[in-house]
Amino acid sequence: MKDYSVLMSYFKHMKKAPLSEEEEADIRSFFSIKEYKKKTLLMKAGEANTKHYYVAKGLLRLYIIDQSGKEFNILFASERQWIGDLGTPAETPYFLETVEDSTVFTISENNFSVLYKRYINLSRYIRKSYVFLQKRFVAILSKTAEENYEELERDHPELIQRLPQYHISSYLGVTPVFLSKILARRIKKD
């Protein structure tokens, strides 16, 4: 049986009131739910009209591949977080991939727009995404990789556990070799 409870609790939270049977059925009808094995691509650069994803279980990453073929992780999303390219319906420059086996709710841009008008608080997702990115942007611009690692460790220790190191280095904007060097240096300091 498909379990929409995570999604429903999110909408309940947004409405700040219980949802009626009809509302629940209605919301359900906009989304599909699917399970993916680790390392599955859900979205690929070059595609247009991509979807929005809400994570029920697991861990995903949004990344780009630059001219030289190097990957950069833009964003991770785990339980109860949105992920996707807000630039949709335009052609996306991003890839979206599961890092762990994951269960994900998917909604099209069109359906998203409909719900967006109905649950104006959905706009929080966009605004929150923006604020998050802006913070991250400033951090990358103004802090060293070591400081950024420490911030990640402090604010999202679970990510450090769940992600391979090379995904973290790519998120911090440095090479795996350099992150390894930072970590070695940190150990020495103690």
Partner DNA sequence: TATTTTTCTTAAACTAGTTTATTTTTTTTG
Partner DNA sequence: CAAAAAAAATAAACTAGTTTAAGAAAAATA
112 binds, among a copy of itself, DNA, none (CB under 5 to 8 A by kind): none
CB of 100 or CB of 150, closer to a copy of itself: 150
Q: Do residues 54 and 84 touch, judged by C-beta distance below 8 A?
A: no
The CA distance from 37 to 187, in Å, is 35
Would you count residue 165 as binding DNA (CB under 7 A)?
Answer: yes
Instruction: In the chain, count H helices and then E strands.
Output: 8, 8
Would you count residue 64 as binding a copy of itself (CB under 8 A)?
Answer: yes
164 binds, among DNA, a copy of itself, none (CB under 5 to 8 A by kind): DNA
- Sole window of 18-26, 53-61, 112-120, 162-170 interacting with DNA (rule: CB under 7 A): 162-170
161 binds, among a copy of itself, DNA, none (CB under 5 to 8 A by kind): none
Would you count residue 93 as binding a copy of itself (CB under 8 A)?
Answer: yes
Would you count residue 120 as binding a copy of itself (CB under 8 A)?
Answer: yes
The CA distance from 49 to 110, in Å, is 9
Locate all alpha helices (DSSP H) within 16-142, ordered by sequence.
Answer: 21-30, 109-118, 123-142
Would you count residue 177 as binding a copy of itself (CB under 8 A)?
Answer: no
Would you count residue 137 as binding a copy of itself (CB under 8 A)?
Answer: yes
Q: Do residues 138 and 65 touch, judged by C-beta distance below 8 A?
A: no
- Sole window of 2-10, 23-31, 114-122, 156-164 interacting with a copy of itself (rule: CB under 8 A): 114-122
CB of 86 or CB of 182, closer to DNA: 182
Q: Do residues 121 and 114 touch, judged by C-beta distance below 8 A?
A: no
CB of 4 or CB of 95, closer to a copy of itself: 95
Long-range pairs of 29-32 with CB within 8 A, sequence gap ≥ 24? 30/107, 30/111, 30/112, 30/114, 30/115, 31/4, 31/7, 31/105, 31/106, 31/107, 31/111, 32/105, 32/106, 32/107
Query: Which tokens belong to 47?
Result: 């595609």
Would you count residue 49 as binding a copy of itself (CB under 8 A)?
Answer: no
Q: Which residues bind DNA (CB under 7 A)?
A: 68, 70, 144-146, 164-166, 173-181, 183-184
